[in-house]
Structure 1
Amino acid sequence: MTGLVDELYEDCEQTAGWAMQGISDLASILIHSGWFHPEQSSRDTMSSAFFSALGSRDVSKATELGQLSGNWPALAMGAITQLDQAWQDDTLSIGDITEAYWTLRRTLDALTANPVRATGRSLSIGAAVVYVPSSEQHTFGPQMLVDKINRAGWDAQLWHSLGSSAIMEQLSSKHVDVLGISVGTDNRLHGLADLISDVRFCSINPDIKIVIGGSAICGTSVQYEFLGADWVAASAEDSLQFFQHGWSELQRREGRFNG
């Protein structure tokens, strides 16, 4: 039970940091554009309706309220203040707070969807997918990685709750440059080599690159060579490094990329 509680706290801290980083990045852009002044956040209060929407995991409602407010960065900052206070006062469970932070971040993505996606398409390095097998329950870490990959210039998505046959069907019709596979426990390594082999066979992109990572990966990458992946990441930072540098290095070595 203690391990589960510790894991929940870690998820909440990661999700809170993810949400706050998003708000910080967006606020910086808006401040430089002259649209948003940070001192407004101390004068604006978060409406009960917005807080209720976060608590109900209602991204659509929270997004609507953010648009109507005319100052959604201040609402988001106010939300963080209230959630932090709830954490300190123990008035909400750790699970409820984690879900509220998750909903807040998804709301920020919805509020900025059009400009961010338009920029992503024009500057996209390539198409990437981070795949979390349906047997894995926690997707906070992989979703944060997807967010960082997008910020690095990729068109990245998270695929979850899909079986291997559904993955093969998707890859046979959708061009994907990199497939990342998250492995949570040692027993998930069983059959992974066959999955990777099937991906290479079914993918519409014959040059697809495969990255494996997750909490089950530890030690040196050499011991995982039997899996047949292109990159083995022992941490989220290692995974991100592949998308920032490793992919282009592989492409250059194979003569497919001159950038």
Structure 2
Amino acid sequence: MMENNPTPSPELVPEAAPIAVPVPAESAVTPPPAPPVIPLRERPNAPLLHKGFQNLFRLGIANIVINLLNNTFKLGDKIPSLGVVLSAMSFAVSVLALVVLWKLSAAVPRFRKAVYFNLLPLIVLPFVALLDAPSVQEWITASDVSAILVVLIILLGLIFLFATLAAYHQLTACAEAFDGADDAMAAKWRSLCTWQVVIIGCFGAFLTLLLLLGLSSASFFYFYNGGMIVLLLFILAIAIALGVVEIIELVYLNRSAKLYE
């Protein structure tokens, strides 16, 4: 009888421990260092911007004084010879302001656009002065008033359009002079730009409305009797707003000149 020999069980082979492969830690992405902010006084165009803002500030004061003497106190009407001098001075101040803006365009190119849009009111100004001539007054009286008003409305619209664009580009250029170096000052210039554009637009729309009402005597009579108080309040609000905007602009110009000093 054959004996069943037990089959020897295979020896248990110990399992090899898993080899821990070190996983490289994710390298933290370090943002590149921000470029150093160059102080305003150390910028290459600092002397040019300082002198330009300073000259605009001085010309702005001169323009306000001339307007007060000529328009508020009516010295030009009381003393005709003085009126001619004040008109010539106002024209000279406007030309000098354009020269300053053109020089500033070397630092901020947008100033050049402000010069272009400021040229139209400066060119039209001598022709507007001719309206006071006796021969021109006689021609206006003998001509068709409606046709003249239509021409004036178109001309007025163009003047205020160019004035609005000039103010926008000039104040925006002032803001761009501080972009990346003084964002707070740049924001102030842009806020002032918004207000000035709105005020000039409202003033132009108001004058256009008056001329349109002048085309119809009945409409003008109704407007005169029914909305005189509103009209006066509107004129007062525009005058105050324009004065406030001019003063704020002078303050910002003086502040800008000191920042670049």
* TM-score interval for Structure 1 and Structure 2 normalised by the shorter chain: under 0.3
Q: Specify which structure has the higher proportion of strand.
A: 1
Based on CA coordinates, which of the two structures has the bigger radius of gyration? Answer: 2
Q: Specify which structure has the higher proportion of helix.
A: 2
TM-score by length of 2: 0.27
Greater RCO between the two (CA within 8 Å, min separation 6)? 2
